[in-house]
Amino acid sequence: MEYISTRGGCLPTDFRGALMQGLAPDGGLYVPAAWPQLTPPKPNQTYIDTAASVLTPFMDGFTDEPTLRTLLKDAYASFSTPDVTPLKPLAPNFAVLELFHGPTIAFKDVALQLLGRLFDYQLKKTGQRITILGATSGDTGSAAIEGCRHATGADIHILYPHERPSDVQRRQMTTVHAPNVHAHAVRGNFDDCQAIVKALFADEAFRTAKNLSAVNSINWARIAAQAVYYVQAAYSHAEPVTFIVPTGNFGNVYAAYVAKNMGAPIKRLVVASNRNDILTRFFETGKMQVTGVESSLSPSMDIQVSSNFERLLFDALGRDAKTLAATMADFKKTGNFVVPPATLSSLRNTFTGVRCSDDDTLTAIACAERDYGYVIDPHTACAFHAYEELKETLGGPVVALACAHPAKFPEAVEKATGKRPQLPEALADLMEREERFDILENSIDTVKKALS
């Protein structure tokens, strides 16, 4: 499989190139040159079987199927259920797809547990060492640490804003005692952390010396790993399915679109955003317009722009890289762009956007407990809110994605239900584990020294 950049300014690469580079050299995102077509899964096929059949065509030339199966088995052995992403029916034609059974109890584990193994496999092949550097407001950092801790060819450095993440989020980063894992608390906010990471990636000499690498959500391998659970869940139904996806960077819902393009029986995709509703506004009007970010009860969806949207736009523009590149350049300069009416209406054949305020979030958590006896986290609540809003109009089976375990965001859940959710067994002693982290001044040089 060849991967091409959405901006058309560099040569195609293979899976290894897309995996190790993340972002394409021209600033675009890698997408497969063509969509491979699925062979429908057999009844009762395991998650690993589905993953192997979905991922093999994306990885030709990188691994063979038996090796891939070994990597997959290892990656998903860390999950608390062999189903990996179990589907729970809650009402006729309404089910929830639980994505939080991995080590950090949020959905990013599904992709990052595999990504860490793929990195490790590649680094062992070449004997190369890399430094994985990332900034996090909470969730991605711990999922990256858990995914990459076993990759002995990688040193992992995660910056987070000192005293900002929740206790659970911080402890998931600071209690992993592997020699290649480093959690750094920076005296600043998330934007400061991200600015330092950007500056270090822009420092050519440092980037080369350290072989800096990122594990952010634009990495093609993460998207491909996420397409698997959509395929598995879609084929579990007799009719085409509508998925409702809590959305921030558009990685998760784009993976659903990939599964649909590969032939999975998917009817519609509902993009659920919180008060940071840039995507919902786009699907309503055809205009992408940046505004400020406001914090919400679903912090992992507090985004200003959704970077993976560029991949969808590329297809919507007929894979015209020139127009796409011009649109993105304009967007960077002016903070907005508009798509032609025909493009918007073709996107609306598949996508619907719904926004969810903090009040809606609390109501949805309370209603899910009352109506289904099911406790949800505030991100999942955005999907449940969208379901309530649209259920009369959707038709056919609907699956809401549960992106985090409720115990990951206990304050919001307690506020809505009056009960504090308990951590699952594997994390029950998290609050007693020894923490290890350093506190760094908010300066590029200080962080640079800490990485040396």
Site of interaction with ligand PLP (CB under 6 A): 106-108, 139, 217, 246-252, 300-301, 379, 403-404
Q: How far apart are CA 427 and CA 101, in angstroms?
A: 11
Residue among 42, 73, 108, 198 flagged as catalytic: 108
On whether the CB atoms of residues 87 and 399 are closer than 8 A, the answer is yes
Query: Is there a catalytic annotation at residue 322?
Result: no
Q: How far apart are CA 277 and CA 361, in angstroms?
A: 14
Tracing tokens 């919180």 back to the chain, one arrives at: 274
| Upper half-sphere CA count for residue 371 (Cβ side, 13 Å) | 15
On whether the CB atoms of residues 226 and 84 are closer than 8 A, the answer is no
Using DSSP's 3-state secondary structure scheme, residue 229 falls into: helix
According to DSSP, the residues that pair with 31 across neighbouring strands are 4
**CB of residue 69 to ligand PLP, shortest distance in Å:** 26
Name, in order, each residue with C-beta under 8 angstroms of 333's C-beta and a sequence gap of 6 or more: none
Q: Which amino acid is at 344?
A: L
Nearest to 244 by CA among 383, 91, 106: 383
**CB of residue 217 to ligand PLP, shortest distance in Å:** 5
Q: Which is nearer to ligand PLP, 233 or 404 (CB)?
A: 404
- Axis-axis angle for helices 341-348, 309-316 (nearest 10): 110
Q: How far apart are CA 416 and CA 363, in angstroms?
A: 7
| Upper half-sphere CA count for residue 241 (Cβ side, 13 Å) | 30
Distance of CA 330 to the CA centre of its chain: 26
According to DSSP, the residues that pair with 184 across neighbouring strands are 159, 438
Q: Token digits for 203?
A: 């420092």
Q: Token digits for 147?
A: 């995914």
Q: Token digits for 118?
A: 């793929």
Angle in degrees, CA 407, 75, 434, rounded to 5: 50
Q: How far apart are CA 62 and CA 437, in angstroms?
A: 36
Name, in order, each residue with C-beta under 8 angstroms of 67's C-beta and a sequence gap of 6 or more: 121
Q: How far apart are CA 435 and CA 377, in angstroms?
A: 25
Q: Token digits for 104?
A: 């950090």
Q: Which is nearer to ligand PLP, 301 or 312 (CB)?
A: 301
H or E, element range at 204:
helix 204-210
On whether the CB atoms of residues 116 and 124 are closer than 8 A, the answer is no
Catalytic center residues: 108
